[in-house]
Amino acid sequence: MALAWRPLTAAAAVIAYTLVSRQTSWSYSELIRKFCGLWFSGLSLYVVWTVILYPKLFSPLRHLPSPPGGSFWNGHFSAINAHPTGIPMREWINTIPNNGLIRYAGIFNQERIMPTSPKALADVLVTRSYDFEKPSQVRNSIGRILGIGVLLAEGDQHKIQRKNLMPAFAFRHIKDLYPVFWQKSREAIQAMTREAHEGVSKLAVAQNGSKGIESSIRKGWASFEVSEWASRATLDIVGVAGLGRDFGAIHNPDNELSSRYRVLFTPSRQARMLGILGLFVPTWITNRIPVKRNNDIALAARTIRAVCQDLIREKREKLARKELTDVDILSVAIESGSFSDSELIDQLMTFLAAGHETTASAMTWAIYMLCLHPEVQTRLRQEIRENLPSMDSDSTVSSLDIDRLEYLGAVINEVLRYYAPVPLTIREPLVDTVINGEHVPKGTRVIICPWAINYSTELWGEDAGVFKPERWLAKDEHDKKKAASASNYAFMTFLHGPRSCIGQAFSKAEFACLLAAWIGRFEFELKNREEYDERNMLIKGGITARPAKGLHVHAKVVEGW
């Protein structure tokens, strides 16, 4: 709830001046005293209105069904704060009877509404999509790093950017990137295999020398932290396929470019504190507080933008010499002739941010689910090995080779449904609008929650909470066109409509190549046996959701491929 600082300050100043200037003699100190008194009184009234009176007595949405409990002044914040992003909403959607909208209260009773039905989602995402924007706090805090690329642009600016970028993300172009995805997946696997062999032989020495060291690792098994490797691989993929520049993170995660990049998107305590402060104080103030986090961000953003600038110059020169044949997204965008250099830099920063941790999160959850379901892991490995070239062979793959693997497609869709990398996102209507027939005032926070929608028993059936790739398999030829659920709006992982993920085809192809490479080569088991019970898996919520302590696995090279 950003406070209305400017109107409050202006009103207090005008009233204080009017009151004081009516007196025959007055001093500046009296003016300041009056101003402060009025300002704090105004603030108190504002707080009482927004925290108590409006949500409880005046909001036109107060009749909507809400979760039980909640504090008088702090709504459901304690439940929201106690769990990772999206978890309480996942429970509410299936336990609170509703007609398409649930209302709950966030910190200081800030009103939130969550669409739950296809009709309500269609209103926000498609029918009235441009009535809604991302909250300005989100735009201002992320925009200073990324610039205003397609992720943060709004209104007409967004329409133009999206239209000009669409060709670069169309499937007819993405299909040319499969060999890049495959090559990078192979590089990651070869690096992991080397590390696995080294780990195993070190372990053998250790076990011979001193009994009990890492005794939890069985013979022939190495250990990995999955999200770290996934992140390195997806950073290099988006670097090469998006910008035409290899970050080199697979081979050296500590090189300058990837370490700077990681600073930008690694959540820290200070980042969280600044985020909370940003709820009450304008972001132009929080961004300027001289703390380490702000300095690190400024430096990292400068470095990466300079690299993007160099890349653009190189590619423009190639284009002028008619030598630009690269297939990366940047080259396609440059060839379109629709973007200036600074606009291109904003787009590149956006692709790096939007396309890196999201796919890494999907990979991490995929390995977790395949550890929980070894029978799925075995069946998937069999399909991969029967149909794709080995990691040691120099053969590449085409989109046809990957996309015809039905079980791989089913596993990928089910992982993306079950653990959507982006648990929730926020919108705010710019104008008074209507959702599902309800009048929704301008400024009301609307929560689109893939973690809730993807788990809705109404949309997916009673087994919505079960990991079941089979739901995506066509039972027969007639069944092929049928979706796994009753509605297109049941799968919210990439949203829908004009603000849906532009990188959907890119990420699914990338995810398929990576997962095929990992599962084809390794057998995975969880290191921490307690995590075989999903209730013991601690999740770190943020823009993307991840296992809070990383995903530690034992991995064994499966010979014969």
Q: Which residues bind ligand HEM (CB under 6 A)?
A: 150-151, 162, 238, 242, 350-351, 354-355, 358-359, 362, 421-422, 425, 493-495, 499, 501-503, 506-507
Residues with Cβ within 8 Å of residue 14, at least 6 apart in sequence: none
Contact 388, 516 (CB under 8 A): yes
CB of 499 to ligand HEM, least distance (A): 4
CB of 506 to ligand HEM, least distance (A): 5
From the CB of residue 552, how many other CB atoms can be counted at a distance below 10 Å?
16
Q: Which strands make up the sheet holding 522-526, listed edge to edge? A: 222-225, 552-557, 522-526
Q: Please, which residue, 506 or 518, has the CB nearer to ligand HEM?
A: 506
- For residue 406, what are its two tokens? 């039905």
CB of 149 to ligand HEM, least distance (A): 7
Q: Please, which residue, 238 or 391, has the CB nearer to ligand HEM?
A: 238
Q: Rounded to whole angstroms, what are the CA distances from 530 to 236, 240, 527?
A: 32, 38, 9
CB of 199 to ligand HEM, least distance (A): 29
CB of 14 to ligand HEM, least distance (A): 39
Q: Please, which residue, 76 or 508, has the CB nearer to ligand HEM?
A: 508
**Residues facing residue 460 across a β-bridge:** none
Cα distance between residue 69 and residue 75, in whole Å: 8
Closest residue to ligand HEM in the complex (CB): 503
What's the DSSP call for residue 491?
Answer: -
CB of 51 to ligand HEM, least distance (A): 27
Q: Please, which residue, 16 or 174, has the CB nearer to ligand HEM?
A: 174
What's the DSSP call for residue 83?
Answer: S
Q: Please, which residue, 242 or 429, has the CB nearer to ligand HEM?
A: 242
Residues with Cβ within 8 Å of residue 441, at least 6 apart in sequence: 59, 60, 61, 429, 432
Sign of the four-CA dihedral 90, 92, 96, 100: negative
- For residue 536, what are its two tokens? 């013991």
Alpha carbon of residue 82 to chain centroid:
20
CB of 387 to ligand HEM, least distance (A): 23
Residue 19 three-state SS: helix
Cα distance between residue 233 and residue 261, in whole Å: 14
Q: Please, which residue, 296 or 326, has the CB nearer to ligand HEM?
A: 326
Helix (H) / strand (E) containing 38: helix 28-48
CB of 185 to ligand HEM, least distance (A): 14
CB of 265 to ligand HEM, least distance (A): 14
- Angle value at C-alpha 4, between 425 and 269, nearest 5 degrees: 50
Contact 321, 313 (CB under 8 A): no
CB of 180 to ligand HEM, least distance (A): 12
Pairing of strands 132-133, 433-435: unpaired
- Angle value at C-alpha 396, between 394 and 397, nearest 5 degrees: 155
